[in-house]
Amino acid sequence: MAATRTFSIIKPDATRRNLTGAVTKMLEEAGLRVVASKRIQMSREQAEGFYAVHSERPFFGDLVDFMISGPVVVQVLEGEDAVKRNRDVMGATNPSDADEGTIRKAYAESIEANSVHGSDSDENAKIEIDFFFKPEEIVG
């Protein structure tokens, strides 16, 4: 099967605890290659736009506040079946439901501060990659 791409965010709870390398190591060990990466401070407008699909959810305001509470590392990951591969290594949204060996089991602090984001479909991966990266910033 050909390599595909997905979009990842190392969230503020993880950058704050200096876990960028540790999280990236788990992504790489899961067979994903970092083909673009940058550390950014998201603006409120960016975070609201990125999570617009959740705008009616009760946790939306808190989620936006959390995502702009510190730097994040946005990444494009490439690998065989990248979306699923990344979701598998991320683990369940709520760390108390996450399997052993997953990033969220190892590092997440709570259902909100859960260390990583990963696209949930190929279609959303493309939208999310385009939201943060110019084509020339991605070097496969």
Residue positions forming the annotated binding site for ATP: 11, 59, 87, 93, 104, 114
- Tally the residues of the chain: 140
Catalytic site residue from 83, 95, 117, 119: 117
- Which residue's entry shows tokens 């990444």? 75
Q: How far is CA 47 from CA 27, 30, 71, 94, 98, in A?
A: 23, 27, 12, 20, 25
Instruction: Kindly identify the residues of this chain, within the stretch 115-134, that bind ligand IDP according to CB under 6 A.
Output: 117, 120
Q: Is 112 in the site for ligand IDP (CB under 6 A)?
A: yes
Among 25, 45, 59, 130, binds ligand IDP (CB under 6 A): 59
Q: What is the CA radius of gyration of the chain?
A: 14
Which residues is 110 bridged to in the sheet? none
Distance CA 60, CA 73 (A): 20
Q: Is 85 in the site for ligand IDP (CB under 6 A)?
A: no
Of 41 and 93, CB closest to ligand IDP? 93
Of 63 and 68, CB closest to ligand IDP? 63
Which residues is 8 bridged to in the sheet? 75, 118
Which residues are known to be catalytic? Answer: 117
Residues that bind ligand IDP (CB under 6 A): 59, 63, 93, 111-112, 114, 117, 120
